[in-house]
Structure formats: C-alpha cells, structure tokens
Amino acid sequence: MSAKYGHILDYALRGLYRRRARNLSLILIYAAVTGFFASVILFSDALRREARETLQFAPALTVQKLAGGRLVPQTTGFGDSLSAIRGVRAVQPRIWGYYYDSPTGSVFTLMAAPGGTSDPAFHPDSGQIVCGRGFMESHFLRTGDPLSLVLPQGGLRTFVISGQFEPVTNLLSYDLLLLHPAEARVMLGLAEYEVTDFALDIPNPAETDAIGLKISRRFPGYRLISRDQVLLTYEALFSRRGGLVIFGGLLSLLAFIVLAWDRASGLSREERRELGILKGVGWGSGDVLLLKFFEALTIAVLSSLLGLLAALIHVFYLGGTLLKSLLSGWSVLYPDYPLNYNPDSGSLLLILTISVLPYLVATLIPAWQGAVTDPAEIMQAG
Amino acid sequence: MILTDFHVLIFISAELLFGFILFRAGIEAIRVSRGWQPGSSSEAQIILERRTWLVSAALYYLSGFSLILLVLFLQIINNHLPGVIQGAMCADGILELNRYGYPALLLKLAQIPFLAFFLLFNWLDRREPEFPLTPLKYYWLAPLAIFWLSGFLSELIFFNQIEPDVIASCCSISFEAARLPGLAVSIETFGAVYWRIILFFLPGLVLLLNHYRRYVAAVLLSLAWTGLSLLTLKGYFVKFIYARPTHDCLYDILWAQYYGIGYVLYGLLLSGLIGQLFLLLWPVLQRRLKNPPLHLEQRLRLVVTVAQFLYLGLIGVYWWYWIFFKL
C-alpha cells in the first residue's frame, strides 16, 4: 500500500517537473504572498521579544506626579517618603524630558546621567554631553565636537560631545542626550530641588502591585507605571499592529486563492489527455485525487519554504525595511536596531497555517472535478 | 477585545476555511443521502457516486486541518496570550477569562472522534463495490457540523470578550485545590498510594473485557480510566515531569521545554478512547459488511491496549526516574 503512495508521489513530482515553466510563475507569486505574511509574523514576534528583553532592565515601578492630567516636577524629598515603604529597596530620582530640535524637526530625549553606575561613559562632567547615534548622524557630529542647545528661557548653551552610545543600545539610546544632572535641570527648566519622577527598585516582583496600591492610596494624584504594564502594552500593541497589517493582507490572500482555484480548474489540453490516459489504464478517482493532493502539497510546501526564506532574509538580514514604519511605530528618527534571529515554533505554525491551508482548499474542488471526469469523454474531446 | 491580534486573526481565518470545506462537503453529503439508490446503475446514481469522492477528500483534508487548528489554538492560549494578558501564566488562566474559553476547547476536541469515525467508516465503505456504509457514514457530519459551528461561535465570543487589561488568575490558584470529587483525600495522597494498583489494573481489565467482546463494559471502564488518568496526572504525575513538587499545571507539559510530552500523553489518551468507542460500533458495522477486514477488530484492541499501556509507561518512566535516581 505504501509502495503505491510512493509511486503516485513520484509520478506527481515528475509531472510538476515536466510542467516546470508553468508552475514556476505560480510558485513565485505564491512565495511572494507567503513572504509578506511570514515577514509580518516574524517581524511582529521579533519586536515583541525585543521589547520583553529590553524592558527587563526597566524599573519595577515608576512614580510620576500629575496636575491637570500632565506630568509635573516633584521635590527630591518625596523620594524619602517612597523609600520608607516596606518592600522598596531603593528609590532613584530621575531627571528627564524632551528637547525639540528645529533643524531636523525631531524630538530628542534629554536625560541626566543616572546615579549608581561607575561607567564613565554615563557620567558626563559639567559642560559635556553624551549623544545617541541618531542625534550624531542627523547632525554629522563626531566625539569632541562642540554642540549648542537652545535653553528654555532663550539663548544657547554649548557642550562638548564626550562620547556616543554603542550601536547595540540603539533601541534605547538612538534619540538620547545625556547630561550632568545640574545641566539637565537647566535645560529642562527644573529647580535645584526638583526631579521629573522616581524609579523604584522592588526586589520581589510579586509585591509590585501591592506597593503600587499602597502608594496610590497614600499619595493620590500620582501616576504609577509598572514594568509589567508597559510590557503588556507593548505586547498588545505589536500584536494589534501585526493584526491590522495581516487583516489588510487577507484580501491579497483571497485574490491568490481565487487565482489558484481558477488556474487549477482550467486544465490544459495536455493535462486533460494525461488524466484520460491515466484513468484509461486503470487509475481510480481516488488515485487521481491523491496525485492532485501530492501536486498541491508539493507546490504549497515549496512556495511556503521559499516565502519563509525570503521573510527571514527580509526581517533578520535587511532589518524588515518594508514593514518597519508600519509595525514598529512612527517617528522622524528610526533607530537602526538589530533583531535577534529566534523564531519560535508558534510563529512557524502560524506561517504554515496561513500559507499551506488556503492553497490546499483552493485546489480541492478542481482536483475532484478532474478526478471524476469520464475517461471516454476526455479522450473524445481531446 | 483581542480579535485584532494577528495570531487570533490567522486562527479565525483558518477556522473559516475549515467551515467552508465542511459546508461544501455537507451539501454534497445531503445530496448523496437523499438520492442514493444502492445497486442502481442510473446516470443520477453515477453522478452521486462521483460526489462521494469530493466528500471523502474534503473530510480527509478536514482531519488534517483539525489537528493543525487544535495545536494552533493550544499554542495561542498556552504560549501567546499569557504574554499579553496580565496574571495568566498558561492556558488555564486564559481559558478562565470568560465562560466561553473551556467550551471552545472542549468543542474543538469533540470534533476529533467524529472525524476519526468518518475516516474509518469511509475506509470500510470504499473496500466494497456496493458502498454498504453510504449514506450511513455521512451521518457523522451532522454532529461534526454542530460541534464546529458552536465551537467556532464560542471561539469568536471568547476572543472578542478578552480584555487585555483585565487581570487573569494564575493556574496555581485553579489547581491547588485539586481533589477527587466526593472523596476527602487529595489526589496527591491518592496517587502516591493507589496509582500503581488502579491505573495498571484498569487497562488490564479493559484488555480482558475486549478479549471477551464485552465492549459496553470496556467503553465505560476506558472512560473511567481516562478520567482517572487526567486526575492523577494533574494531582501527582505531572510534578515528576516538571521536577517541581508544587507545580500542578496540565498545560505547561505542552511547552517545548518539556519536549511537548503533553501532546503525546493526551494523544495516547484520546486515541485509546476513540479505538475503544469504535470497537463498540464494530459488531453493528460487521453485519453490514459483506467482506469485513479480517484483523481490524484485533488491531483496534491492540490500539487501545498499546495506547493505554504506553501512557502508563511514559508517566511511569518520569516517576521511576525521580523516585529511584534523584530522590
């Protein structure tokens, strides 16, 4: 019995090879459709993974003060009240804000060097600045160059660029300008005793929600942002954006199914003759159906693999150029970040589902129509 | 509302394809059932015979698709959505998010036996030139269509009602109170003391009942054994797979880090049950066939026994490994 299947499969492969010119165009179109869907799936999943890996270094809880729904500065003394809460190991005051750069029309993130790190690259002295690659490249600057920034009250302040961030941190640092805390306060218009917000270090993640609840009850009017919340928001955001792109692409899939159906229905004179001969020499309808199934499966698997390969190159080698603006967000500056190659079995199963299944469905009824045709009828017509 | 998530969107699209083929096959099956005239060589009968090929091919396709869709559904609720929903760590937390979760999973699982029955009936039917099981075999399509439609609607409502900002409960809460219904003893204690006797004894009894063709009793015993297997797996054996005495989850064993052993274990339980149910139908079918396959009954008995003992062997290997080598 298995030998029979083997012979039919062998015949199907030979038949496909004989009609290779006709099948090649179909395989190429099919691979392009699969490649599009596979790119969206791989790119969205890679972004979600990147967000997860990047955010593991984010503070467990961030406390921000709101007035009229907008973020306002807080006094440094408030940090003492937060550190007194049981379960909080450390409270890190943060000074940060945005800097609008009129020559490029971009908004950069301006931040004071964080405490607690001994790396000199993160500790610019007064009069120095460390820049992200996005800023350096958009202004054609190099380390050691002078840089003048516009103060909030008017006038310019000049810094010396003491370093730039490494490309591996692009996702976080591409638009970042790092200053000495005193300089950052001046640039952001903050008083000497003011900070933007507080980052809380909570060693036991299970206590984060309870601590957040305690803070919100004790200090109403403060906004609490937990790492888990941010992570879930990113997960949902990338999944939703991927969904919207896939939703748009479903029409192209439908068009392809119609094309494949139409193509499979329109048997050429030679194919009809072949079917007639096969049935004439004793092939049953079941054998012909199996032959057509093997042909469809071979085309589907081959095209899906080609599409998957194209998607892997597009996403992990070319950085998802065609989809980046759709899926990762919109901004004047796009960070050039590498995506780690790590597609999981779930993504591959999704690609298989959206590529192989529709083609098998599209060719089922035409295959049956061919299989049940009367051989005498075919031979007389041919 | 999580219907815009691309994992869910692709799954729902694939379900629609499944529904399309089932609908088309169903229409052809109704046409065949209404006009079927066994023994007739009229043109109408020949046309109907040609239509049977489409139904058969469609159902073969659907069988493959249903397995792919089941794995995809499990992957979405067990791997993907726990990353999107706060508090959920596996499929249990996700399925508990609203009351349509578990019905969606169970209705999906319920379709598999009907597809298996159709394939076996179809195979027997095609072996004989008179097609003795046509249109009887098409009756399986009715429950299949009902289960698919209600399952599909449950899935739609289930995914549509999921709110990503609503916190799910972790499976540890659902499973910590796992007890045998009606018994004041935890499954852990029960499993530790009696599992070797009960779990090995029952398949032996099933083997004996099958040998003497007491299929009704064997089906009831197999159902009881399958239920007991799931309960003891949850309360006792699964700890040895995770190598963590406090972890009782029935879904994490589907993860790649445990080599997807859950698919094998659940697959064995399901195939044992399907084989046993088919044995129950066999005496009725045998009477309708002129030339029944000689060894089918023995092979089905073998499937049941191998599935049940292989399941026991696999969980036994985990248990044995920890008890004798690690503890």
**pLDDT 10s digits, B31-77:** 999 999 988 889 899 899 999 999 999 999 999 999 999 999 999 99
Nearest to B5 among A229, A243, A250 (CB): A243
Joined tokens for residue B41: 């060589």
Task: Find, in chain B, the residue whose alpha carbon is nearest to that of A292.
Answer: B57
Query: Which chain A residues contact residue B164 at CB under 8 A?
Result: 232, 236
Q: Is A243 within 8 Å of chain B by CB?
A: yes
A223 within some domain: no
Beta bridge partners of A188: none
Which residues in chain A have Cβ-Cβ distances shorter than 8 Å to B53?
285-286, 289, 368, 371-372
CA–CA separation, A210 vs A232, rounded Å? Answer: 18
Interchain contact, A286 vs B126, CB within 8 Å: yes
Measured between CA atoms, the residue of chain A closest to residue B163 is A236
Verify that A364 and A243 share a domain, yes or no: yes
Q: How far is B5 from chain A (nearest CA, A)?
A: 5
Same domain, A239 and A375: yes
CATH of the domain at A150: 2.40.40.20
> Does a structural domain hold residue A64?
no
Question: Are A349 and B84 a contacting pair at CB < 8 A?
Answer: no
Q: Is residue A335 part of a domain?
A: yes
> What three-state secondary structure class fits A225?
strand
A164 & A292 share domain: no
- Residue B83: the pLDDT is 81
Biggest alpha carbon–alpha carbon distance for chain A? 97
- Cβ pairs bridging A and B (under 8 Å): 105
Cβ–Cβ below 8 Å for A358 and B17: yes
Report the gap between the CA of B79 and the closest CA in chain A (Å): 8
Beta bridge partners of A150: A156
CB distance A247–B11 less than 8 Å? no
| CB spacing of A345 vs B256 below 8 angstroms | yes
Among A313, A331, A339, residue whose Cα is nearest residue A132: A331
A235 with B83: Cβ contact below 8 A:
yes
* Longest CA span, chain B: 74
**Total number of domains constituting chain A:** 2
Residue A84 forms part of a structural domain: no
What is residue B196's predicted lDDT score, i.e. its pLDDT?
Answer: 65
Give, as one character, the DSSP assignment of residue B258. Answer: G
Would residue A83 count as lying in a domain?
no
Of A189, A213, A245, the residue at which a domain comes to its end is A189
Q: Which domain holds residue A160?
A: 96-189
Task: Say if A301 is an interface residue toward chain B (CB within 8 Å).
Answer: no
pLDDT of A163 strictly over 70: yes
Kindly tell me if the per-residue pLDDT of B178 is higher than 50.
no
Q: Highest mean pLDDT: which of A8-17, A53-62, A127-136, A279-288? A: A8-17
Whether A296 contacts chain B with CB within 8 A = no
Checking phi first, is residue B171 left (phi over 0); if not, alpha (psi -120 to 50) or beta?
Answer: alpha
- Least confident piece of the model among A27-36, A370-379, B5-14, B58-67: A370-379
| The CATH number, out of the four listed (3.30.70, 1.10.3470, 1.20.120, 1.10.1740), of the domain defined by the range B6-171 | 1.20.120
Of the candidates B5, B17, B256, the beta carbon closest to that of A357 is on B17
**A261 located within any domain:** yes
Give contacts of B85 with chain A, Cβ < 8 Å.
Answer: 232
pLDDT for B75 equals 93
Q: Which helix (H) or strand (E) holds B107?
A: helix B101-126
Q: How far apart (Å, rounded) are the C-alpha atoms in residues B315 and B112?
A: 24
A132 to chain B, minimum CA–CA distance in Å? 31
3-state helix, strand and coil shares in percent for chain B, rounded to the nearest 5: 75, 0, 25
A251, A355: one domain: yes
Tell if the CB–CB gap between A242 and B6 is shorter than 8 Å: yes
- B164 vs A232: CB contact, 8 Å cut-off? yes
Tokens 């095609």 appear where? B126
Position B183 scores a pLDDT of 46
Instruction: Give residue limits of the domains in chain B.
Output: 6-171, 176-326
Residue A126, exposed/middle/buried by CB under 10 A (0-12, 13-18, 19+)? Answer: exposed
| Residue A171 CB burial class (10 angstroms; 0-12, 13-18, ≥19) | middle
pLDDT in tens, A88-125: 999 999 999 999 888 888 888 899 987 655 566 667 88
> For residue B195, how many other CB atoms are within 10 A of its CB?
22
Average pLDDT, chain B: 87
Contact residues on chain A for B11, CB-CB shorter than 8 A: 353
A285–B53: do the CB atoms touch at under 8 Å?
yes
Residue B117 has a pLDDT of 94
Strand, helix or coil at A226? strand
A42 and A118 together in one domain: no
> Are the C-beta atoms of A171 and A54 separated by less than 8 Å?
yes
Residue B217 CA to residue B205 CA, distance in Å, equals 10
A6 and A106 assigned to the same domain: no
Q: Are residues A181 and A114 part of one domain?
A: yes
Confidence of residue B262 (pLDDT cuts 50, 70, 90): very high
Does any domain span residue A248?
Answer: yes
pLDDT value at residue A31: 94
Residues 6+ apart with CB under 8 A from A373: A272, A275, A276, A279
All residues at 6 or more sequence positions from B172 whose CB lies less than 8 Å from its CB, including other chains: B89, B246, B247, B248, B249
Show residues of chain B in contact with A247, CB under 8 Å: 4, 9
- pLDDT band (50, 70, 90) for residue A233: confident
Which of A36, A232, A250, A289 should be substituted to probe chain B, the one whose Cβ sees the most B Cβ atoms within 10 Å? A232
CA distance A146 to chain B (A): 45
